[in-house]
A and B are shown apart, each in its own frame.
Chain A
Amino acid sequence: MATSLVDADSLLAVDVGNSHTRAMLFDAVEDRYRLVAMGVAPSTAYAPLNDVREGIRNAIDQVQNITGRVLIDDEEQLIVPATSDGVGVDQVVLTLSAGKPLRVVVAGVLEDVSLRSARRLAETIYGRIEAQLHLNDRLHTEGRINTVVRARPDVIIMAGGVDEGATQSVLQMVEAVGLAAYLIPQGQRPEVLFAGNQAVLSEVQKLLEGLVPLHVAPNVRPALEHEQLGPAQESLLQIFRNVRLRQMGGLQSWLAPLTGHSTFYPTAYAFGRMIRFLSRVYDPAKGVLGVDIGAEATTVAAAWGGEGTLKVVTELGLGSSLPDLLKHTAVEHILRWLPMEIPRQQVVDYLYNKALHPDSIPMTPEDIAVEQALARQILRVALRHAWKDFPASVRHRFGAQLPYFEPILASGSILTKAATPGQTLMMLLDGIQPSGVTTFVLDENHLLPALGAAADINPILGVQVLESHHFVPLATVITPVHHITKPGTAILRLQIETSSGDQGTVEVKTGTIRVIPLRPGQTATVQVQPLRRSDAGFGPGRRGTVVVSGSKLGLVIDARGRPIVLASDPAQRREQNSRWLNALGG
């Protein structure tokens, strides 16, 4: 997609994470947008500084040092907009994932209908659901009041009643929330989002306005079979901004002088927005998947033809929330991914020690193996959560199997900074377990959120940076789905012709991973012939042709089946994990 710049505005993207703060300067170079420079500094959102500005300043300093461009004036202010002599920047976007998850209370009428939608909505931001209220919670008004007051919420999301449906039960819930809010001291009161039956809107406003900051949005569940989170998500974004501006030291004062030239989003939302955008660009028959393993949360964004789902799981991160992983999974499910013998207790100790030093880096082979096993299991659990929100039509078509995605974008330093591309792909294959034909792409510099946040004010930038070399193709993977349990059975035959004219035939057997190197810049036409009615993405037993572009690893065939069945014997299982990793180059 070639685009030409008419009015090239420079843009500074700042991402404040739990561990690191990044500053990225984008500008037009030879008539196309490029990432000009990036600075990374430790985040300072926490004690002892409790002020994001120091980390932002340090990251911008690095950009200034690299480029020689002056971005900050003598009064320590970011120069916006840029002057004619190239000082400063025209636009600024801020993405933020740092901070304790927002405390959320969700309320609905029916547990499996409106409450579920409210929960899904809550899971699109960095939040933790502290309490849930619904018609059958057996709490009555008094119990609900106490529940809300004790939850000390930052935000209450209220849904319930399909349009032209229940009104009384919705109002009962609103009344309880109103009474609870009244009892919470001023200054600590939550923001309330009402996204339920619109017929009671005026009464909701009468009950809550003046008591709490009230936001109203169209019904998230206008009909039993119809869910619409989009408009309410926009309101929730504003609430997220309000809460963070209030809670996070230095944020308000850093953004205030940039009014009119800046936007501010949760990192996960901006990441999801970019995935949605990409799903309009790529094959509409498949979805686009993005996964981001962070220090305190894991984000899964999936989209089909511009419509997407976003799941932010704040209990799944490789930082201080790591022990929470054990609420979602058994230790044995982590141990199963290890290529070497490491005692169970040592793995549990590892989780807790990592939580104490969230930005520390594993150095020994054992620690690296544990950390990468954790990443696999975090992906498994996060995908399991996210799958429930995939469109019903997709879930029905694919059942428990992951839908076809092309491409899959991966972010987070555990994935992008692994010592070898083989280790990265191993984590992604085991954790995601894709099927059919897919390409894995690494967002090594964590650019997707910046581009997603900039989409409002500079859509061309996203398109052009995506076309640049900053996104690193890792591998194109063909995964035949089959039900053959016997290892060593021929399952796929490939005829390959590379752009340089080399030809060959490869037969792949069950239980193996095979790599056919294809360097960046090369392409290959691959005729895929499934054997024994396996399905490589073209239908059971059906052949197909794919054109594969070169990448770090090239073409990879994962013939281990879906789901991957590991040996029950621990020694054999370790040997399997080790053999598969070696197949990818170690």
Chain B
Amino acid sequence: MSVIRPVVRIMPVAKVRQKRLLPVPGRVVVNQGKTVKATETVAEAYLEPRFHLVNVARSLGVPRAEADDYIVCHVGEVIRKGDVLGKKGGMFRKVVNSPVDGEVVLAGDGQVLIREYVSPWELPAGFPGKVSKVFAGQGVELTTTGSVIDGVWGNGKLAYGLLYNAGKTPDAVLDAAALGVELRGMVVVAGKLEDAHALEVAESLPVRGIIVGSMPASLIPEALKVSFPILVLDGFGAQEMNSHAFRLLATSDGRQAAVLAEPMDRYRGVRPAVIIPLPNAEMPPEPPEAVELSEGVTVRLTRAPYVGMLARVIDVPPGLVRFPNGLRAPGVEVRLENGDRALVPVANVEVLVQS
């Protein structure tokens, strides 16, 4: 039986396809085939729609059954705050006004329901590219050529800016002392984050974004509060950045990069990533979405004692393998970067796509 595993992209040059999806259903505002800039809106949605129910009958002091005779607005009408919704003449003239700018969505039974006008939340493209697919009401798929590195966690923000490698090694810590004023407006790359103070300093500069191999999970609440994107490439804890990603980011120093620090969503196929557009690259390969495990395939190991390490597949034994700790599971034999051999569960590897 073939063993198919999900892929993680760490590619210097590739045809990059990336989904850009709204968090809630909304409206796509670009057509397939359109070329978009990083800041251009591709879709929009109302994250928190606000409705106002105005009880005209009560305000006019008339029975609900009779109140419709006094309602002067109609469904679909655009109204401004203060516009008259209902009125009653006579000696004691009474008027009911709209509390907000909006649109009448329902009028009757003595009540008027108004959708308050609020600006929609806009989803930017995030990086320059071409709209290759439109998912009606949800978002788009954008395509570009360039470098791409998949991450594992993002704080929900995104930015486009110049990469600045703040650490000389994959295990360099991004601490407050490393965050000098020269990093203002930069997308800062480092091996790992360790404390919240560094985030405070980064916010005060501010930086454009942060890309690290790892950070402690306890930093998540602080990471969610900052205004810039934080992208974690390898996992939570204090592990160094994987060597391929580090090399690629180090050699891309000074280039424009899109940090798409979206939360991973396996249901919708969204994964955080950094994309470095290289518009002039010729005929780059398109990464597959899943790959069969076989000899020679490069994998990233996801669990201790090899977490974050890269390795090459030597063998995929059939059936279940009994591991030294007594567990039985499908296994794969790999050679680590340091030359050691290891037998690991198939479930603990991701296929690395490099070119």
The answer to whether A364 has its CB under 8 Å from any CB of chain B is yes
Minimum C-beta distance from A57 to chain B (A): 12
**Given A183-B105, A320-B266, does the pair A356, B235 have CB atoms closer than 8 Å?**
yes
Minimum C-beta distance from B295 to chain A (A): 21
The residues of A that contact B345 with a CB separation of less than 8 Å are: 360-361, 363
Chain B, 281-323, CB within 8 A of any chain A CB? 289-290, 302-305, 307, 323
**Given A152-B24, A360-B302, A360-B348, does the pair A345, B216 have CB atoms closer than 8 Å?**
yes
The answer to whether B89 has its CB under 8 Å from any CB of chain A is no
Minimum C-beta distance from B178 to chain A (A): 22
| Contact between B51 and A419, CB atoms less than 8 A apart | no
The residues of A that contact B350 with a CB separation of less than 8 Å are: 357
| Contact between A179 and B106, CB atoms less than 8 A apart | yes
| Contact between B348 and A353, CB atoms less than 8 A apart | no
The residues of B that contact A345 with a CB separation of less than 8 Å are: 216-218
The answer to whether A42 has its CB under 8 Å from any CB of chain B is yes
Chain B, 239-290, CB within 8 A of any chain A CB? 264, 266-270, 289-290
Q: Scan A57-97; emit 1 where CB is below 8 A from any B CB, else 0.
A: 01001100000000000000000000000000000000000
The answer to whether A346 has its CB under 8 Å from any CB of chain B is yes
Minimum C-beta distance from A352 to chain B (A): 4
A145 to B305, CA, bound (A): 52
| Contact between A363 and B115, CB atoms less than 8 A apart | no
| Contact between A361 and B303, CB atoms less than 8 A apart | yes
The answer to whether A47 has its CB under 8 Å from any CB of chain B is yes
The residues of B that contact A61 with a CB separation of less than 8 Å are: 1
Minimum C-beta distance from B8 to chain A (A): 11
* Interchain CB contact (< 8 A) of B106 among A58, A152, A182: A182
* Stretch from B33-41, B119-127, B326-334 contacting the other chain: B326-334
| Contact between A141 and B325, CB atoms less than 8 A apart | no
| Contact between A146 and B51, CB atoms less than 8 A apart | yes
| Contact between B329 and A361, CB atoms less than 8 A apart | yes
Q: Scan B142-175; emit 1 where CB is below 8 A from any A CB, else 0.
A: 0000000000110000000000000000000000
| Contact between A145 and B53, CB atoms less than 8 A apart | yes
The answer to whether A188 has its CB under 8 Å from any CB of chain B is yes
Query: Chain B: interface residue count, which band?
Result: 35 or more
B52 to A, closest residue via Cβ:
A142
| Contact between B237 and A346, CB atoms less than 8 A apart | yes
The answer to whether B347 has its CB under 8 Å from any CB of chain A is yes
Minimum C-beta distance from A561 to chain B (A): 30
Minimum C-beta distance from A208 to chain B (A): 15
A183 to B268, CA, bound (A): 25
Chain B, 336-355, CB within 8 A of any chain A CB? 344-345, 347-348, 350
| Contact between B48 and A179, CB atoms less than 8 A apart | no
| Contact between A361 and B51, CB atoms less than 8 A apart | no
Question: How many interface contacts (CB-CB < 8 Å) are there between A and B?
Answer: 123
A349 to B193, CA, bound (A): 13
A58 to B292, CA, bound (A): 14
The residues of B that contact A145 with a CB separation of less than 8 Å are: 51, 53, 113
| Contact between A46 and B267, CB atoms less than 8 A apart | yes
Minimum C-beta distance from B143 to chain A (A): 15
| Contact between A351 and B217, CB atoms less than 8 A apart | yes
The answer to whether B49 has its CB under 8 Å from any CB of chain A is yes
The answer to whether B70 has its CB under 8 Å from any CB of chain A is no
A41 to B, closest residue via Cβ:
B1
A361 to B, closest residue via Cβ:
B345
B217 to A, closest residue via Cβ:
A352
A61 to B, closest residue via Cβ:
B1
Minimum C-beta distance from B64 to chain A (A): 12
| Contact between A183 and B266, CB atoms less than 8 A apart | no
The residues of A that contact B267 with a CB separation of less than 8 Å are: 46-47, 99-100
The residues of B that contact A323 with a CB separation of less than 8 Å are: 217
**Given A363-B305, A367-B303, does the pair A420, B326 have CB atoms closer than 8 Å?**
yes
A50 to B, closest residue via Cβ:
B269
The answer to whether A131 has its CB under 8 Å from any CB of chain B is no
The answer to whether B25 has its CB under 8 Å from any CB of chain A is yes
The answer to whether A163 has its CB under 8 Å from any CB of chain B is no
Minimum C-beta distance from A325 to chain B (A): 13
A145 to B53, CA, bound (A): 9
B48 to A, closest residue via Cβ:
A150
| Contact between B218 and A141, CB atoms less than 8 A apart | no
* Interchain CB contact (< 8 A) of B237 among A141, A150, A349, A419: A349
The answer to whether B220 has its CB under 8 Å from any CB of chain A is yes
The residues of A that contact B269 with a CB separation of less than 8 Å are: 46-48, 50
Minimum C-beta distance from B126 to chain A (A): 18
The answer to whether B50 has its CB under 8 Å from any CB of chain A is yes
Minimum C-beta distance from B114 to chain A (A): 10
The answer to whether B4 has its CB under 8 Å from any CB of chain A is yes
A349 to B304, CA, bound (A): 12
Chain A, 345-402, CB within 8 A of any chain B CB? 345-346, 348-349, 351-353, 356-357, 359-368
Minimum C-beta distance from A176 to chain B (A): 9
The answer to whether B236 has its CB under 8 Å from any CB of chain A is yes
A345 to B106, CA, bound (A): 53
A61 to B2, CA, bound (A): 12
A517 to B264, CA, bound (A): 48
The answer to whether A521 has its CB under 8 Å from any CB of chain B is no
| Contact between A360 and B268, CB atoms less than 8 A apart | no
The answer to whether A483 has its CB under 8 Å from any CB of chain B is no
Minimum C-beta distance from B287 to chain A (A): 11
| Contact between B53 and A363, CB atoms less than 8 A apart | no
**Given A142-B53, A183-B105, A353-B237, does the pair A62, B1 have CB atoms closer than 8 Å?**
yes
A130 to B105, CA, bound (A): 25
| Contact between A364 and B305, CB atoms less than 8 A apart | yes
A200 to B90, CA, bound (A): 39
| Contact between A357 and B216, CB atoms less than 8 A apart | no
Minimum C-beta distance from B142 to chain A (A): 16
The answer to whether A149 has its CB under 8 Å from any CB of chain B is yes
Minimum C-beta distance from B264 to chain A (A): 7
Minimum C-beta distance from A311 to chain B (A): 24
* Interchain CB contact (< 8 A) of B53 among A179, A366, A367: A179
The answer to whether A532 has its CB under 8 Å from any CB of chain B is no
| Contact between A185 and B53, CB atoms less than 8 A apart | no
| Contact between B49 and A146, CB atoms less than 8 A apart | yes
The residues of B that contact A365 with a CB separation of less than 8 Å are: 325
B350 to A, closest residue via Cβ:
A357
The residues of B that contact A333 with a CB separation of less than 8 Å are: none
| Contact between A360 and B347, CB atoms less than 8 A apart | yes
The answer to whether A417 has its CB under 8 Å from any CB of chain B is yes
| Contact between A363 and B1, CB atoms less than 8 A apart | no
Minimum C-beta distance from A552 to chain B (A): 14
The residues of B that contact A50 with a CB separation of less than 8 Å are: 269
B305 to A, closest residue via Cβ:
A364
| Contact between B347 and A150, CB atoms less than 8 A apart | no
Minimum C-beta distance from B116 to chain A (A): 10
The residues of A that contact B105 with a CB separation of less than 8 Å are: 182-183
The residues of B that contact A346 with a CB separation of less than 8 Å are: 237
B329 to A, closest residue via Cβ:
A361
The residues of A that contact B289 with a CB separation of less than 8 Å are: 47-48
B152 to A, closest residue via Cβ:
A356
The residues of B that contact A42 with a CB separation of less than 8 Å are: 4
A100 to B220, CA, bound (A): 23
The residues of A that contact B24 with a CB separation of less than 8 Å are: 152
- Other than the given A47-B289, A363-B348, A368-B325, 5 more pairs (CB < 8 A) read A146-B49, A183-B113, A185-B25, A352-B217, A356-B264
Chain B residues at the A interface, C-beta cutoff of 8 Å: 1, 4, 6, 24-25, 48-53, 105-106, 113, 115, 152-153, 216-218, 220, 235-237, 264, 266-270, 289-290, 302-305, 307, 323, 325-329, 344-345, 347-348, 350
A-B contact pairs, 13 of them (CB 8 A): A145-B53, A179-B106, A182-B105, A183-B51, A188-B25, A320-B266, A345-B218, A352-B217, A357-B302, A363-B323, A367-B303, A417-B328, A419-B327
Closest 6 CB pairs of A and B: A47-B269, A419-B326, A48-B289, A352-B217, A142-B53, A349-B237
Chain A residues at the B interface, C-beta cutoff of 8 Å: 42, 46-48, 50, 58, 61-62, 99-100, 141-142, 145-146, 149-150, 152, 179, 182-183, 185, 188, 320, 323, 345-346, 348-349, 351-353, 356-357, 359-368, 417, 419-420
